[in-house]
Amino acid sequence: MNLNLLIWVPLLTTAVVVLWGKGQRAAMLATVGSVVQLGLALLLYLAYTAERSIHANVPFLFEYRAVWYKPLNITYHLGVDGISVAMVLLTAFVVLAGVLMSWNITHQPREFHALLTLLGAGAYGVFLSVDTFTLFFFLELAVIPKYLLIGIWGSGQKEYCARKLVLMLMLGSALVLVGLLGVFFSAGHTFSLSAVSATGVPLKLQQWLFPLLFLGFGIFTAIFPFHTWVPDGHSAAPTAGSMFLAGISMKLGGYGCLRTVTHLMPEAAVQYAPLIIILGCIAIVYGSLATMMQTDLKYLNAYSSISHCGFVVLGIGLLTQTARNGAVLQMVSHGLMTALFFAVIGLIYERTHTRTIRDMGGLIQVMPFVMTVLFMAGMCSLGLPGLSGFVAEVTVFVGGWEREELLPRVAVVLACSSIVLTAVYIVRAIGQVAMGPLLGRVDQVPVGWAERLAVLLLLSGILLMGLWPEWLMQLVDMPAPALETHLSRIEN
């Protein structure tokens, strides 16, 4: 399996769209490229599960290494473990769904689809990199296209929201860069994850570098109180942009916290674990309470994303293998669920020309397919058994209860209480939008084949994970021996 293909295919697709993507052809070319990416992601999953049983003692499979900048020992170094493969699969699903939802873009479609595809390349690069500088490079690559997508194709206060999003993410990037440079100089002048893991970072430096890196990556995953870019950015972004921001971009931070922070600095992770748990609980409860106050469908989904990403932070802070698995499952589940939510909101807005909940009602009479999908996304959000949300959140709860200390168990109880709050705002919003008499003007625009395929693709992922989670659990529950050593040190 050549991991370069997962990065170069979207880059090549971007170039092809720029050169030959005139009009509707841009959507067609981007769709073909996205289908190829999904095929490569599925091939990677099959290859990884086959090879892992043979090479059980190898930290990362399918490694590719090339010298990038020798004076600073920077290498273009790719490799995957189970967590990486899960994130690649999520990215492939969301990118294809986002492209399919964008077939109706008429304003500068060439540039739109080129930027959207470029975002995918950046995400793949982050999830495949086992050199921290390469990871940081691809993390930055995915920032500027977000600004352009919101600033040009967004709605409302799009310029303000685009600037706010980029400035907040740049703050996170600056903290990440400082932290990674600190790790570089303290661990033998190397950016390699494997080398740093073997060498270790001195404890005194861990105490300074850990909060920098965790906060930097945490900003990408909407950690409290640096979460304010999420509702503004999501509300102003076009449908595909919102799908990518919530479905993939917010996972870059959680992945970074898990991959480069807690694994490289386990002693500091123990010291800061209570603070991480508290921040996760604040995000969960605050996000739920704030969501209950929203009257705009996009803002409702954006604030609920803050709450759901709090489960990722909580799972990382609980420091048990089960809880960490739950954090990864929550990243995958939330990525699929929130992308589906934003896709449905886009379909509703195109036909009602409003996102205000109180201005809608009785839409199930004229949009039965869209309302059915909205109901399924809502049930996934509140954790209905049989859907992915239930599997992910319960895994975090069980992992937290494995800790016998007071704080982790109190955190689990608080996190469980958020399910009730989630049920309140989900049932209330869906009941207002779908049920009752028909309110307002609704354009009788049929749902196109591309849009149907997009939502069914995401829905199939939610159902597959909810009804048969074992395949994904086995994938993410296969830590490499080099990382296992650190995890055991944390837990002991």
pLDDT band at residue 492 under the 50/70/90 scheme: low
User: H or E segment at 179?
Assistant: helix 158-186
Residue 2 pLDDT > 70, yes or no? yes
Mean residue pLDDT across the chain: 88
Distances (CA, A) of 176 to 100, 170, 194, 219, 295: 33, 10, 18, 10, 35
Asked whether residue 17 carries a pLDDT value surpassing 90, the answer given is yes
480 — pLDDT class (breaks 50, 70, 90)? very low
Mean pLDDT calculated for residue range 303-317: 90
Share of the chain above pLDDT 70, in %: 97
Please report the pLDDT score of residue 478 as a whole number. 60
Distance of CA 427 to the CA centre of its chain: 25
CA-based nearest residue to 253, from 78, 94, 127 = 127
Helix-, strand-, coil-residue percentages of the chain, each rounded to 5: 75, 5, 20
> Residue 349: pLDDT above 80?
yes
Residue 321 clears pLDDT 80, i.e. is over it: yes
What is the rounded CA–CA span in Å between residue 465 and residue 99? 23
Q: What is the reported pLDDT for 329?
A: 93
**Interacting residues of 21 by C-beta distance below 8 A, sequence separation 6+:** 29, 30, 109, 110, 113, 114
| Residue 455 in this model has a pLDDT that exceeds 90 | yes
Predicted local confidence at residue 479, as pLDDT: 55
Asked whether residue 353 carries a pLDDT value surpassing 50, the answer given is yes
pTM: 0.93
pLDDT at 160 over 80: yes
Q: Is the pLDDT of residue 454 over 70?
A: yes
C-alpha distances in angstroms, 41 versus 128, 135, 434? 12, 19, 36
Q: What is the CA radius of gyration of the chain?
A: 21
Q: Which residue has the higher pLDDT, 198 or 363?
A: 363
Q: Which has more confidence, 313 or 234?
A: 313
pLDDT of 482: 41
What's the one-letter identity of residue 130?
Answer: V
Cα–Cα distance measured from residue 281 to residue 418, given in angstroms and rounded to the nearest whole number: 10
C-alpha pair distances (Å), 320 with each of 95, 397, 402: 31, 11, 8
Q: How much is the pLDDT for 483?
A: 43
pLDDT at 490 over 70: no
CA distance 117 to 406: 46
State the chain's maximal CA–CA distance in angstroms: 69
Burial (CB count within 10 angstroms: exposed 0-12, middle 13-18, buried 19+), residue 195: middle
**pLDDT tens-digit map of 257-273:** 888 888 888 888 888 98
Please compute the mean of the pLDDT values over residues 225-245 and round it to a whole number. Answer: 86
Per-residue confidence (pLDDT) for residue 461, from 0 to 100: 93
| Residue 117 pLDDT greater than 60, yes or no | yes
d(CA 395, CA 50): 25
Q: Given this model, what pLDDT does residue 231 score?
A: 86
Q: What is the pLDDT of residue 52?
A: 83
pLDDT digits (tens, 9 = 90+) for 122-136: 999 999 999 999 999
232-241 pLDDT per residue, tens: 888 888 888 8
DSSP strands (E only) in 369-438: none
Q: How far apart are CA 306 and CA 26, in angstroms?
A: 33
Report, as an integer, the average pLDDT of 344-353: 89
Q: Kindly report, residue by residue over 396-453, the tens digit of the pLDDT.
A: 999 888 887 888 889 989 888 888 888 888 889 998 898 888 887 787 778 888 899 9
Cα-based angle 250, 254, 260 (whole degrees, multiple of 5): 135
Task: Say what the pLDDT of residue 234 is.
Answer: 83
Highest mean pLDDT (candidates 181-190, 336-345, 480-489): 336-345
Which pLDDT score, from 0 to 100, does residue 488 have?
57
What's the average model confidence in pLDDT over 348-359? 88
Place 71 in a pLDDT band, splitting at 50, 70 and 90. confident
More confident residue, 179 or 22: 179
Q: Quick check: 65 and 75 in contact, CB under 8 A? A: yes
- What is the mean pLDDT of the segment spanning 450-462? 93
Task: Give the pLDDT of residue 489.
Answer: 53
